[in-house]
Structure 1
Amino acid sequence: MTSEDSGNRSRTHTTNGRSAEPGPTQPADPEPGTSPTAAGSGAHPRADGDAQAGDLSLRTKEGRKSFWTNIVAVWLGTTMEYVDFALYGLASGLVFGDVFFPGQTPVIALLSSFATYAVGFIARPIGALVLGRVGDKKGRKFIMVFTVLLMGLSTTALGLLPTYQQVGMLAPILLLVCRLCQGFGAGAELSGGAVMLAEYAPVRHRGLVSSLIGVGSNTGTLLASGVWLLVLLLPHGKLIAWGWRIPFVVSILIALFAVYLRQSMQETPAFRSYQENRKKEEAILARSGKAEAKDEGGWKAFFVMLGLRIGENGPSYIAQSFLVGYVVTLGVTKSVPTTAVLIASVLGFAVIPFSGWLSDRFGRRITYRAFCALLAVYAFPAFWLLQSRNVWTVSAVIIVGMCLGSLGIFGVQAAYGVELFGIQHRYSRMAVAKELGSILSGGTAPMVASALLAATGSWVPLAAYFCIMAAIGLVTTFLAPETRGRDLTLVEDAI
């Protein structure tokens, strides 16, 4: 069945495998320029006047208050996640070799530091699977409070760890444990935040509201970089002795505020509706003596999400990580790529919500497809222009690459990913698909690119690798349905 067929066919609303009333139909791609309700691609026809659960909850003062509380709480939690990873990444390259792996050669100490950094990425899909399943059973709020608390405590603990000189090998072991806890919590944080925002958002603005999860990640990266710039003003001796602990310990303030806000959050209207229907069906099954039907959802949406993630995350990590070191090897001053990344991050506060708005205006699929196509076209000219070593050209290439790959496409992905999955397994399957996609693309992209450069000494394989990953995302959009405005209380996947 083609994606167009799956987008247009009528669906039967099922809960736990039982049929109920026919649900809304999935529309085909809208014509450019039409509104969400035009061309049948926005809010689906419903008896309650085209309103979905999120829209109905916003009709009350309490609902609107909960909506804004959830937005701020999710934003702070995502900020916390990216503060964690950015702080650790910077510390790995700057001080952890001296603090936790002394006596090693500089290269071995650096590799050891980044090895513990990589462990966090390995733990993320495990956290996505375990915590995502709990989130699908117990609710989004419970996991969102747990993840931000776990990450906050783990990051603060890093700043309180004893050094190698104090406890020997126990120090790097404790460092590894903290990193595993960070990764375990982070695996469910980003996807959980996207689910929370999307399930609470008004249907017409779901893309814009969901994209704010990316604003949180941008905030965390900038905040961590700013704090580290201040700490690096300390003399080297004081930095190694105690200065490096400051960013980690101070992060507890963000974590505590985020936990406070998340405890006051309300469960999403979509999940509350699902729980109510589930309880009714369980009562009916109990009276009839029948066993509860198992979740028989397919896995097409999982692999679609995996492909979309590869098309975004691989180019993203090359643009914001690999290119920074690559241009330095070409003889460009280190301050040039660093400044370019900073400028792109600031622009992200506009680019991310704008891309989410575009997906509300024109549709998720066409917007995602456009970003992937632009990334594929960008690849070869970008690497060719970097060879000029011109300050302005290099800066422009990095800024454009980050705005397309790291920021713009990520803003579209938030709502698209949520709408692809049925509510019964949305949290767990989307989270696992995203984290596996990250490992297969973003997590390994800098390493693969470095190996290609070392093996060939040419920029052409680098551009080809970048283009291939973007093309995977592009091709995936032709296998995916349009999901804009989809009823998020549906149990079945969109494909």
Structure 2
Amino acid sequence: MNSKIPPTGSDRHPVAHSQTAQTNEEVTDTTGGDVTKVRRIAAASMAGTALEYYDFSIYGLAAALIFPTLFFPQSNTFIAVLASFGTLTIGYLSRPLGAIVFGHFGDRIGRKPVLVITLVIMGVASTAIGLLPTYSQIGVWAAAILVPLRFLQGVAFGGEWGGAILMAFEYARPGRRGFFASVPQVGPAVGTLLGNGVFLVITLLPEDAVLSWGWRIPFLISALLVILGLVVRLKIAESPEFTELNGTGTTARIPIAAVLRSHLEPVLLVCGGFLGYGAFSVVALTFLVGYSRSTLGLDSSITLTAVLATCVVQIPTMMLGGYASDRFGRRRIMTVGPLAGIAGTFILFWAISTAQPGWIIVGYVLGMGILFTSAYGAQPALFADSFAPSVRYTGMSLGYQLSNVVGSGMMPLIATILLDVSGSIYTVAAVIALALLVSMLCLLSLVRTAEENSAATDPTERSTTAPISAP
């Protein structure tokens, strides 16, 4: 199977500036001469991703804490929770469709317009969820309307992540791409921080108020956040590598066909590489929150506070991981990171099993915020490096979102069933640990693929996956 990247010149030559390519917008060359602008682009990409993750995170929390009561019959609590997590899964199942559709346009017409469109779709769907009537008002139609809105969320999300990463990655020079690509990866932590923060405030209301109108507030806030996100994204310039491709007429005509024909191996490796990370994240942020409340009888504010503290710690940890991959090489990070994640998994699950608020916070911060996150920020640059610029949006998005279907989308259902059958949350931890081992093997294979692709592009270039001196 051929996964070699054909020479495109995009990593070897300055971007060809065209008077017609941009109007009223500067384009920074790929040597990273304008560091300030690269930082601004990375920050803008992170802000947009944070808003989309805010929308996605509030749905996950609502699915764990509120939707089983509001949108599904209460004759069987287990079935109601399972159905609620089922709608959560739908959002993950639709992500690959978003990756293909928006990846196509991202590789054909540009990264920037796609990022604007996905932000609008996500915001509209989330706001509409906040306006929905409940099961007590319209019966099964409540869930019937909820499902397509969740589907739209997933489609938008499927096209968001890859574009945000590429805007930062393609603006930065090779020696700093690990770090700058990690900045949009901070978006999930920031978005989750916002989502959990809003839900934490909501839980201070009386339960009747939460179930009658309080649960709608996080979703309605999305409308305001989308407006702010659009202001940020409309001001950024198009990716310089795409501008070069478009100017020379070397964009792929049908990106998904090119990916399946010549880049299927890295797609599968990206899918496997993120498998354990997606599984851990969704279990920690949704399943364990619900488990702590419904099974252990803990107040939701305890786990929400723990997640808030974790997100704060994750922000510098992710960027440190990206920097470390530039400084010490990706192979080392991709070896140590998943093993640290396995240790973090069992630390977190042990902390949850104690039912002690203090230990739960420590378990989240240490297990998820530090150990699990250590290699998380280094992954985006590795994923992007594995594809030619002409199919990069489609290729990395498809692999990443397929992984989210298996690792993230199915895991709440799997965890719920495992807990019901075994009676122990450690069976869930064992499955996550196994998934992280698979991720480590795939990530190391992907490092080799990226090294081979770099050598194929120019044998005289030093691979960006190898250690470099500090910039």
TM-score bracket, normalised by the shorter chain, equals 0.7 to 0.9
- Is this contact kept in 1: 2:31–2:173, CA < 8 A? no
Show the counterpart of 2:152. Answer: 181
- Alpha-carbon offset, residue 166 of structure 1: 5.0
The answer as to whether partners of 1:312 and 1:405 remain within 8 angstroms in 2 is no
Whether the 8 Å CA contact 2:182–2:318 is kept in 1: the answer is: yes
Of the candidates 268, 279, 289, which is equivalent to residue 239 of structure 2? 268
Alignment of 1:263-412 (within 5 A): 263-278=234-249, 295=258, 296-324=261-289, 333-334=298-299, 337-377=303-343, 393-404=359-370, 407-412=373-378
1:92 to 21, 46, 63: 63
Q: Distance in 2 between matches of 1:238 and 1:54?
A: 51
Within the candidate set 435, 442, 458, 2:401 is matched to 435
Distance in 2, Cα, partners of 1:55 & 1:446? 44
Letter of the 2:332 partner, please give it. I
CA–CA separation in structure 2 for the residues paired with 1:281 and 1:357: 31
What SS class does the counterpart of residue 342 from structure 1 fall into?
helix
Shift of 1:198: 0.7
Distance in structure 1 (CA, Å) of the matches to 2:420 and 2:139: 36
Distance in 1 between the 2:66 and 2:419 partners? Answer: 27
Q: Deviations over 1:389-410 (max 9, x none)?
A: 6665554333222135653322
Evaluate the alpha carbon distance shift between residue 47 and residue 152 of structure 1 in structure 2; reply closer, same or farther with a 3 A threshold. closer
Shift of 1:141: 0.8
Matched, 1:197 2:168: yes
* Distance change (3 Å), C-alpha of 1:260 and 1:450: same
Which amino acid in the other structure matches residue 130 of structure 2? G
Measure the CA separation in 1 of the matches of 2:240 and 2:203. Answer: 46
RMSD value over aligned CA atoms?
3.8
Cα deviation for residue 476 of structure 1 reads 1.9
Instruction: Using the TM superposition, name which of 373-382 and 408-417 deviates more.
Output: 373-382
Counterpart of 1:417 in structure 2 is: 383
Where does residue 24 of structure 2 map in the other structure?
Answer: none
> Displacement, 1:333?
4.5
2:428 is the counterpart of 1:472? no
CA contact (8 A) 2:281 2:408 kept: yes
**Cα distance change on mapping 1:455 and 1:245 into 2, 3 Å:** closer
Q: CA offsets, 1:262-317, max 9 Å, x none? A: 122211011111112226999xxxxxxxxxxx845232211211121113222333
Contact 2:108/2:252 (8 A) holds in 1: no
In 1, Cα distance between equivalents of 2:416 and 2:251: 56
Distance 1:124 1:405, change over 3 A: farther
Amino acid of the residue matched to residue 389 of structure 2? I
Which ranges of structure 2 fall in alignment gaps of 5 or more residues? 16-26, 459-463, 466-471
Partner of 1:27: none
Q: CA deviation at 1:361?
A: 0.6
Which segment is superposed worse, 254-263 or 166-175? Answer: 166-175
The alignment of Structure 1 onto Structure 2 pairs a total of residues equal to 442
CA distance in 1: counterparts of 2:216 and 2:347, whole angstroms: 42
Cα deviation for residue 232 of structure 1 reads 3.0
What are the Cα deviations for residues 227-257 of structure 1, in whole angstroms up to 9, with x where unaligned? 2222333334443333322221222111011
- 1:38 corresponds in structure 2 to none
Residues in 2 aligned to 1:96 and 1:47: alpha-carbon distance in whole angstroms: 53
Name the residue aligned to 1:230: 201
The structure-2 alpha-carbon separation of the partners of 1:324 and 1:72, relative to structure 1 and needing over 3 Å to count, comes to same
* Paired residues of 1:309 and 1:437 also in contact (CA < 8 A): yes
- Name whichever of 201-210 and 461-470 sits farther off: 461-470
Q: Output the CA distance in 1 between the equivalents of 2:354 and 2:60.
A: 29
